[in-house]
Amino acid sequence: MKIDIDKLKACVSNLDNARILVVGDLALDEMVYGDTERISREAPVLILRHTHTNLILGAASNAAHNVSTINHGKVSVLGIVGDDYQATDLRKAFEDANVDCSNLIVDASRKTVTKTRISGSCFQSITQQIVRIDRQSSEPISKETESQIVDKLKEIIPEYDAVILSDYQIGTLTDKVIKTAIDVCKKHGKKVIVDAQRDLKRYKGATSMTPNLPDTQKYVGFDIKSNKDILKAGEKLVRDTGEEYVLITCGEEGMALVTKDKKMIRIPVFNKSKVFDVTGAGDTVTALYSLALASGAEPVYAAIMGNMAAGIVIKQFGCATTTIEELQNFIDNNKKLLEKFNIGEYDEKNI
């Protein structure tokens, strides 16, 4: 299969049309920086003179941020925060990223999920992380909080074109929340895309999911070393979940889109050079893939756009995002490369 460049550019242009709801485990990454001064007399630890703090959207929050930079803020989040100052910081980070956070549910018995990384440097040295502090509630959400999420899903899903279920195993996405989201989306003809690491069978009836290769291997229970293995794994995922297609991300080996009619499309990485940081790349793929499907793109073109976006953000440090303009520039600057790419198509007969 050859990429139709004009069709791809049209698909990218349409990304701004879709409204997305992200439901799941919201988190804040707090990055604290300082300069080392001396060793404390109280204990054998460094004393840092604080220089600055960066607040970054993490976990499901990062998926929403990725969507927002593409569709100019037509994205909302539904999740849980605590009654603490970290919730205020998270709201501010959402507002700065142009993400609607009016549907946040406050549960005073839980902590706003916050991962604080403290880093320091001294004269003529690089900045290094010294310690990380995680604030997180480990117990399941209460039935009262679960009911609030369920009621909110029934109320607001009709306003959106697609729902992303982003599961970081922190407890927001209970079986009841998952089933409600999928059932309501089906009722109103909305797409629902899953980004989860474990218990993939829980998401039965969703439109699609975007597991990475290690998580796929854990689920299917066998090593994936060839295209035949990927097709077999993808078929199992589709069969077990009843989804229309799954997109398996394979790192430097690109992606594999497996459909319910037992066909697989392999999409190679467009540019393996200058990989600086893969942090958050999975959220970028999910965001672009979901936006594209919600905008009416064919699954294979949705996957190609997710692949392109990942190729852009891994050249930047941290949880980076991209824009429609950057995607269009990528196509224009790599037109000859894209035209030469042969997207592999396989089934059980020719693999």
Give catalytic residues, as residue numbers. Answer: 283
CA distance 314 to 311: 6
CA distance 166 to 94: 16
Contact assessment for residue 280 and residue 63, using Cβ atoms and an 8 Å cutoff: no
Within 8 A by CB and 6+ apart from 294, the residues are: 18, 19, 20, 161, 162, 191
Q: Which residue in 228, 222, 284, 214 sits closest to 258, CA to CA?
A: 228
What are the angstrom distances between the C-alpha of 216 and each of 104, 189, 250, 312? 31, 28, 10, 24
Within 8 A by CB and 6+ apart from 50, the residues are: 32, 33, 34
Within 8 A by CB and 6+ apart from 329, the residues are: none
